[in-house]
Amino acid sequence: MADDDRGDFKPPYLPFATLWNFVGELAAHPLPPAIDRSLMGTKSGSDQVNIMATLRTFGMIDDDRKVQPAFVDFAVADETARKKYLRVLVEKYYADALAVSSQNGTEQQLHECFRDTYGIDGADTRRKAVTFFLHAARRADIPLSPHFPSTRPGSGSPGQRRKSPKKRASNGGNSGSSSGNAAERGETTLPPKSEYETSVQLQTGGTMSLTVNVNPLNLRGEDRKFFYEVVDMLADYAERHQINQTDGDTDKNGPSEEGPSGQPSEDGGGVT
C-alpha cells in the first residue's frame, strides 16, 4: 500500500446509502461551515457517529468538523458529477481492493485484502466494510471482478432484526382476551425480544454492546434520562476515537446490507 495522503485509512462500514443520502440531503440547502449532529436529527445515534467518522476518514471534514473543499465539490455536484467524485475517492482510498479486482480476484481474496491491508480482523465488521466498498464502487461505475459478490436493490440497512409474526391465540378466536387479562390473573409475561442493539469498539480491544428490549418512545422521567445518557456516552466515545459503530447487526450470513437475505443490496435512492 503506497504511502500517500490517505494516511491511516479506516474503511467505513455503515450502509453506503446512509452516507450517500445524507450528502444528497445536505446538497438541497447551502452547506454550513461545519457538520454536526444537529443536521442528522432523523438518524439514529450510531448512524450519526458513523457518518461523522466516514466524512473525516475521506477528508471531507477536519478534526474540528469543518467542511473541507473536497466536500463542497462533492455535495454541490449534480448526480453525474457526484459519481465522478465518488470514483476518485474509491480509487484513492481503496487502491488495494481495486488491485485485487483487476486480477479477477475472488470474494475470499477481497476479504483477505481488507483483513491484511486495512487491518479489519472481525469477520462481521469486515463483511460490512467490504459491502460498503462494493456499493461505492458500483455506484461510481467502477468495473469489479466477476467473482466479487453481486448487489441488488434493497433497503441498504444492514442486519436489522426482522420481527417474527405474532402468534394468534387459540382461545375460541378471541385473540385479545387471554393477553388482555394476563395481568388480572397474576400471570408473568415474558419481556419482548431485543429490538435495538448498538456496539462500540474499545481502544484496548474488544467490544462493548448495549442491547435493549424496550421502545425508547415509551420511556419517561428517570428511565428516559438514563437511557439517553448511556446511548450518548457510547456515541460520544466512538466519535472521539473516530470508530465506526455497529447498530442492530445480528446477521452473520455473508456480505449483505439487507440482513438475512444473504446478498448485499444495491443502495439506490432512498433508504436507511
Residue 120 pLDDT: 95
Please report which confidence band the pLDDT of residue 219 belongs to, taking 50, 70 and 90 as the band edges. confident
Residue 5 pLDDT: 53
Rounded CA separation 139/141 (Å): 5
- Domain ranges in the chain are 7-159+190-272
What is the per-residue pLDDT across 69-103, written as a single tens digit (0 to 9) for each?
Answer: 999 999 989 989 999 999 999 999 999 999 999 99
Q: Which three cell numbers stand for residue 142?
A: 467502477
Chain position carrying cell 456516552:
233
Q: Which three cell numbers stand for residue 272?
A: 436507511
What is the per-residue pLDDT across 97-133, written as a single tens digit (0 to 9) for each?
Answer: 999 999 999 999 999 999 999 999 999 999 999 999 9
Please report which confidence band the pLDDT of residue 152 belongs to, taking 50, 70 and 90 as the band edges. low
Which whole-number Å values give the CA distances from 135 to 5, 15, 188, 246, 250, in the listed order? 23, 9, 47, 18, 20
